[in-house]
Amino acid sequence: MPGGAQPRYTSSGHLVYVQAGSLMAVPFDAQHLTVTGTAVPVVDGVMQTSAAAAHYSFSANGSLVYISGSIQPSQSRLVWVYRKGTEEPLAAPANPYSNPRLSPDGRRIAISSSASVGPSGSPIWLYDLSRQTLTRFTFDGNLNQFPVWTPDGKRIVFDSDRQGPVVNLFWQSVDGTGGVERLTTSELSNWPTSWSPDGKFLTLVEGNPTTAWDVSVLQLSDRKVVPFVGTPANEGGPHFSPDGHWIAYASDESGPWEVYVQPFPGPGGKWQISSGGGTEPMWNPTGRELFYRSGDKMMAVDIATQSGFSAGSPHALFEGPYLLSRSPIAAYDVSADGQRFLMLKPVEQPSQSTTQINVVLNWFEELKQKVPPGRK
């Protein structure tokens, strides 16, 4: 169900889920695992967070409980953070941003955002650093996320659900010419992360029902997606080194998330970079350092690749309450000189006050009247 979240199956023969602050119900055939009708809104005004968590539940005998409210977007601001922790806010307005990416020339930022900065949907926006203007980049589809600039700065690749419920990769010119072109036609959701410096390969994360999150590489020449790291564990956040010979990524294969590096295209060994946990790896554009997040800390590791691969000991650069990624994609970017970090700083907002908890008895009977059920 496009745009749906937090689903539950009812014994009345329905699939109930939340969508944009409303509880939706659709008849569901439990024997064949298929939807057998049209989704219908059954309860409006359910409190929901920007991460799609809704405040509702129901019991086995059909009692519904929920909290009235609306969607609570998580606002954040774009800030520069220097290596020693000095912070410099940008003039862009606060919004529910995610995954900012600097253009190769450092003049613009491509950034995902939810609907509060414009019409419905989750568009990608371009922020001009010198003119301090925010311009909408994508218009179609409910989801448009995780922008990645091509090395020449002429195009942006992103994921979108504009041609079906499964998010695949698309790209379009920054100047708006040529329209939008689809890059992948996979049955698995995939999210772009970084380009090789020659623009021939694109790292991506695939959601695989068998092996969870996997790291793959898109060959632009034939649009073929080639697996790079796929295990029963989760792998995410792959990022090409500036010379294109190495890929850093995060994995929870040992339990906690840690950062690793492998040679591209391989074969070769694997080096664990982080110690005591690490996510969101990002190379210093100079190629001599690798950054990653460890909780609220920004970590740095010296890297040498002149004769093989070697990594130094991790050390903290700064610590602060900057937005951590809720996905396998880094939630920050690094300036070309490696001296500044483009971070997202959450903005504190007054929370919606909970004045009452609503309880509806025998709700399943009402549900069956509004939406004829499927086969149990």
Angle at 279 between CA 276 and CA 284, to 5 degrees: 105
Report the C-alpha gap between 308 and 284 in whole angstroms. 18
Residue 364: φ, ψ to 5°: -60, -35
Question: What are the tens digits of pLDDT across the range 218-265?
Answer: 999 999 999 999 888 999 999 999 999 999 999 999 999 999 999 999
- How crowded is residue 303: how many other Cβ atoms within 10 Å of its Cβ? 22
Strand partners, 108: 128
Amino acid at position 359, single letter: V
Spatial CA neighbour of 274 closest among 313, 323, 331, 328: 313
Report the C-alpha gap between 278 and 31 in whole angstroms. 42
SS3 37: coil
Report the C-alpha gap between 84 and 78 in whole angstroms. 18
Question: What is the bridge-based pairing of β-strands 124-128 and 108-113?
Answer: antiparallel
Write out the chain's pLDDT in tens, 376 residues: 766 888 999 988 999 999 878 899 999 998 888 889 888 899 988 887 755 678 899 999 999 999 988 766 678 999 999 999 999 999 999 988 999 999 999 999 999 986 433 334 588 999 999 999 999 999 887 788 999 999 999 999 999 988 887 889 999 999 988 889 999 999 889 999 999 999 999 999 998 888 889 999 999 999 999 999 988 899 999 999 999 999 999 999 999 999 999 999 988 889 999 999 999 999 999 999 999 999 999 999 999 988 889 999 999 999 999 999 877 789 999 999 999 999 999 987 655 566 789 999 999 999 998 898 867 6
The DSSP letter of residue 118 is S
Report the C-alpha gap between 8 and 66 in whole angstroms. 14
- The CATH homologous superfamily of the domain defined by 73-346: TolB, C-terminal domain (2.120.10.30)
Spatial CA neighbour of 71 closest among 3, 135, 140, 158: 3
Report the C-alpha gap between 40 and 91 in whole angstroms. 42
Q: Chain-centre distance of CA 209, in angstroms?
A: 18
The answer to whether the beta carbons of residues 123 and 145 sit under 8 Å apart is no
pLDDT at 2: 66
Q: Before 232, cis peptide (omega within 30)?
A: no
Amino acid at position 82, single letter: Y
Domain boundaries, given as residue ranges, for the chain? 5-70+352-370, 73-346
For residue 188, give both structure tokens: 């698995």
pLDDT at 143: 83
Report the C-alpha gap between 185 and 218 in whole angstroms. 12
Question: What are the tens digits of pLDDT across the range 301-347?
Answer: 999 988 889 999 999 999 999 999 877 789 999 999 999 999 999 98
Amino acid at position 255, single letter: G
Answer positive or negative: Cα dihedral of 308, 151, 285, 291: negative
